[in-house]
């Protein structure tokens, strides 16, 4: 299957933006019907790009204050980079009716953010908190007067929380809650469990049995809460005791700069990490190859370059088939 060209991708994005702006206007009108809403849901489901561009239209509104129903007030800030003049005109027209549409959108769908495989995104929240979403991540946000609550459904996110003692900031990932007031931390959540890394500040993680944390080996009765210090990572894997370690923070957050840092990592773990960023998946042929160690800095989304580097290091054979890159032992005499 031939991947779309950059020109084709730009055309798809521009068309999705224009359609998103049109949907904002239609949904904010006085003739909103169940049929119209059903059509909107079909449009959202038709392509992941549609949902992303609908969110971008709503973000245009987030750059303005007090937009009256009858017109447009001055924008607080506007960054036209990456936007064509056609898109700018469409967005400006959409803002005329965006207020009512945003209310309906947030009640109906909620504040949900997602990234596709290989995509990363910075999400500024209304309280001043900044959230960086890694590849293939989904989260929802709910703000109230008493609490700021984020549910991380899947993936990984870096949180830079705005200090507000009156409104705790809680991230739910599976059965675990990470609570902070003003701090920076990373939460990773997937089928294998949850990992919380504290960069600075202070967080508590609920449903973490402190008496079972292997690094601390604390005495006393089990508790359901663990408080982390900067530089600590709490790993809550399924069916194993919680583990506290001290990873390199630059390695944990390297994805924010488009990098994967590996330090004496098994090839099986390295492949799993690289596969998070690209639809073309790496495969390993044997347990012996999976146990090989690998260190280095690699680019996210460059599975082929990673495979070539590993193959050269360990004299492995590469086979490419459809959306798979297979690493196997070289034949005798190769």
Mean pLDDT, residues 244-260: 94
State yes or no: pLDDT of 82 exceeds 60.
no
Q: 127-168 pLDDT, tens per residue?
A: 999 999 999 999 999 998 889 999 999 999 999 999 998 999
DSSP calls for 33-55: -HHHHHHHHHHHHH-HHHHHHHH
Average pLDDT over residues 241-265: 93
Question: What is the pLDDT, as a whole number, of residue 98?
Answer: 45
The domains of the chain, with CATH numbers, are: 6-109 (no CATH), 130-249 (2.60.120.1440), 258-329 (3.55.50.30)
Q: Which residue, 47, 27, 28, 29, is CA-closest to 37?
A: 27
CA dist., res. 266 & res. 261, Å (int): 13
- Of 293, 284, 291, the closest CA to residue 313 belongs to 293
Sign of CA dihedral 165, 171, 172, 177: negative
How would you classify the pairing of strands 148-160 and 169-173? parallel
Size of the chain in residues: 334
Which is nearest to 267 in space by CA: 255, 257, 278, 275?
275
Judged against a pLDDT cut of 70, whether residue 250 lies above it is answered with yes
Residue 277 pLDDT class (50, 70, 90 cuts): very high
More confident residue, 294 or 9: 294
Average pLDDT over residues 86-100: 46
Q: Which residues contact 322 (CB under 8 A, 6 or more apart)?
A: 1
Specify whether the CB–CB gap between 334 and 317 falls below 8 A: yes
In angstroms, rounded to a whole number, what is the distance separating the alpha carbons of residues 296 and 260?
A: 8
- Residue 323, pLDDT > 50, answer yes
In DSSP terms, which residues pair with 154 in a beta bridge?
Answer: 138
What integer pLDDT is reported at residue 94 of this predicted model? Answer: 47
| pLDDT at 203 (0 to 100) | 95
């Amino acid at each position: 299957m031939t991947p779309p060209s950059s020109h084709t991708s730009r055309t798809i994005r521009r068309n999705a933006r224009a359609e998103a702006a049109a949907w904002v206007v239609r949904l904010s009108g006085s003739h909103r019907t169940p049929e119209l809403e059903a059509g909107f849901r079909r449009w959202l489901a038709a392509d992941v790009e549609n949902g992303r561009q609908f969110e971008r239209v709503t973000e245009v509104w987030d750059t303005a204050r007090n937009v009256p129903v009858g017109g447009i007030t001055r924008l607080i800030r506007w960054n036209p980079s990456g936007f064509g003049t056609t898109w700018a005109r469409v967005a400006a027209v959409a803002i005329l009716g965006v207020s009512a549409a945003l209310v309906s959108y947030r009640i109906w769908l909620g504040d949900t953010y997602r990234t596709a495989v290989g995509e990363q995104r910075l999400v500024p929240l209304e309280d001043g908190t900044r959230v960086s979403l890694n590849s293939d991540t989904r989260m929802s946000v709910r703000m109230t007067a008493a609490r700021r609550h984020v549910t991380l459904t899947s993936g990984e996110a870096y949180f830079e929380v705005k200090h507000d003692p009156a409104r705790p900031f809680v991230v739910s990932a599976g059965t675990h809650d990470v609570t902070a007031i003003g701090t920076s931390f990373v939460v990773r959540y997937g089928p294998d469990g949850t990992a919380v890394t504290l960069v600075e500040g202070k967080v508590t993680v609920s449903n973490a049995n402190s008496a079972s944390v292997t690094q601390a080996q604390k005495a006393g009765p089990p508790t359901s809460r663990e408080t982390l210090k900067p530089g600590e990572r709490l790993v809550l894997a399924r069916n194993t005791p919680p583990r506290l370690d001290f990873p390199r923070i630059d390695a944990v957050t390297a994805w924010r700069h488009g990098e994967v840092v590996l330090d004496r990592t098994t090839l099986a773990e390295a492949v799993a990490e690289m596969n998070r960023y690209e639809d073309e998946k790496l495969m390993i042929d044997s347990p012996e190859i999976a146990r090989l160690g690998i260190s280095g800095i690699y680019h996210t989304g460059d599975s082929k370059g990673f495979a070539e580097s590993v193959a050269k290091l360990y004299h492995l054979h590469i086979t490419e088939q459809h959306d798979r890159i297979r690493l196997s032992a070289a034949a005798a005499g190769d």
